[in-house]
Amino acid sequence: MRRHILLSEVEDKPAVCFDTGLEPRSFARTKMSQSLIEKGYTVHPDGSNEVWKSSGVCEFGGHMRVWGKPFNGERFDLLLNNPNAKQADTLQLIVYWLKAKMFLGDEHSTLNPAATFIGSDGSVFFSPPNLANRCLHVEGYTLDRFNCPDLTDMNAVAFCAAAMLYKILSGTLPYISDETMYQDMREGVFMPITIAAPGLNKDLCNLIQNALLLPVEKKGRNAIKKNAQDIIGGMLKILTDKSINLFNEVSAEATQKREKEKKNYLFKRNVAVKSRRFAVRNKYPLMGIAGGIFFILFIFFSMYSSNKNRPTTAGMLPDSVVFAYYNAFSNFDHVFMEACIQGSDPIVKNDLNAAATFLAVAKTRQAYSPAGTPPIISARAWQDSGGELPSPDVFGVTDLALEHLIGSEFDNMIIYRVNYNLWAPNEHARRRTDTLTVTKDRRGNWRITEILRVER
């Protein structure tokens, strides 16, 4: 792959070159010339540093290159990915890089390993950040797998160091999927280093783990125990202390256990992460569905509770059901009247409407009529109190007489004849004769299924 940040020659002299991938006209139109004033840094092992600025622009292969003072070293990303390099040598590069960052302190410098050069003497060159990012983009380096875009200053340094150490010590990157990499960083989704690198020094594991959780610290998840300065200092102490063993011997039994833990972790993580992200992506539709389900359940349980508490004719004899029906009519109890009937007989509907209407009239009189206005009273109560005429405020049934015509309880059907007087406000009593059919419903309760009425 063609490198766009490289050590090359300009006018037969060594130089650090940044190939912008732009033709001269495009270079001028995009105002890339402003990058000529951007600073880079060269940090030496003794802590001193030099500001690097571009020396000029030249055309090479049809593209414009920004170049400047040479540096004797190699690109950090190539050193990290060298399969033939010894682990100890690669870790030493991390030490050089961390020390250089500590020496620079608050000076803003690039974090991307592909924009950094490290010399054999421990010197580190940090390219101008914006210029380097332009060149890396042309190079195809679109994803920085070692840096979280949400972090700045020493937090960003600690995170980058942890990601590089994770790669060196476990052989894999903490964030594997390119599609969800930055989301994984922000949510702290990665395999714990204790599982990825069995036997690794526990203190170093804790430092790497804490650093990789820095992006989620502000979200209140996975509380961070150390700040960035402590993490970096701890890493340098462990990596430079020759008496500390980075890896402890791991038994075959422990290795087998870790493999099982790894599989379990991957399975649980994939399920949990996919479920959580699906819920976040579809938050509003899911809220709508949940609201709909809640509404349906509310209606269902309300109906169930209502039906459960509704009166029934359970345990009543057939003649008791008939008497109860007419008594409920007199008391405006249309709810119990409904419990006594089955089906949609038109006469029954008229009785229910009459009872409900006079109940509403009685409640309205009670609430809004002037004091002293007589209420609508039950005809049965009126009769028991003497039944004086006229009766302008009386409603209900009196003089009820029940006659068995045919059928028995064993036949599950009985027909009765009922004679009674019906009183209504401001009316004379009307003589009625009803022929009622009473049958058992599917629950074994006696209920009225038909009424034939003759009114005189």
Three-class DSSP category at 267: helix
The Cα 32–Cα 34 span in angstroms is 5
- pLDDT reported for residue 413: 92
Residues near 412 by Cβ (< 8 Å), separated by ≥ 6? 439, 440
Cα distance from N-terminal residue to C-terminal residue, the chain: 108
The Cα 250–Cα 257 span in angstroms is 11
Query: What count of Cα atoms within 13 Å lies in the side-chain half-sphere of residue 140?
Result: 3
- pLDDT reported for residue 218: 55
- pLDDT reported for residue 278: 58
Widest CA span in the chain: 131
- pLDDT reported for residue 11: 86
Is residue 68 within 8 A of residue 52, CB to CB? The reply is yes
Instruction: Output the CA angle 212-274-148, nearest 5 degrees.
Output: 25
Exposed, middle or buried: residue 296 (CB in 10 Å: 0-12, 13-18, 19+)? Answer: exposed
Mean pLDDT by 10 residues, the chain (456 residues): 88 92 86 82 95 92 92 94 91 96 90 94 94 90 87 93 94 84 86 87 93 76 69 94 85 71 70 63 68 73 63 89 90 86 82 83 71 71 80 84 92 93 84 93 90 88
Is residue 429 within 8 A of residue 405, CB to CB? The reply is no
Is residue 161 within 8 A of residue 94, CB to CB? The reply is yes
Task: Give the predicted TM-score (pTM) of the model.
Answer: 0.62
The Cα 69–Cα 39 span in angstroms is 12
The Cα 225–Cα 211 span in angstroms is 10
For the chain, domains (ranges, CATH) are 1-86+108-142 (no CATH), 318-455 (3.10.450.50)
- pLDDT reported for residue 420: 93
- pLDDT reported for residue 221: 47
- Burial string for 387-409 (b: 16+ CB within 10 Å, else e) reads eeeebebbbbbbeeeeeeeebee
| Paired tokens of 168 | 């060196």
Residues linked to residue 413 through DSSP beta bridges, in sequence order: 408, 439
- In one-letter notation, the amino acid at residue 159 is F
* Tokens 């011997």, residue located: 249
Dihedral (Cα; 200, 205, 208, 209), 10-degree rounding = 130
The Cα 232–Cα 222 span in angstroms is 19
Q: How far is CA 141 from CA 199, 209, 416, in A?
A: 33, 26, 95
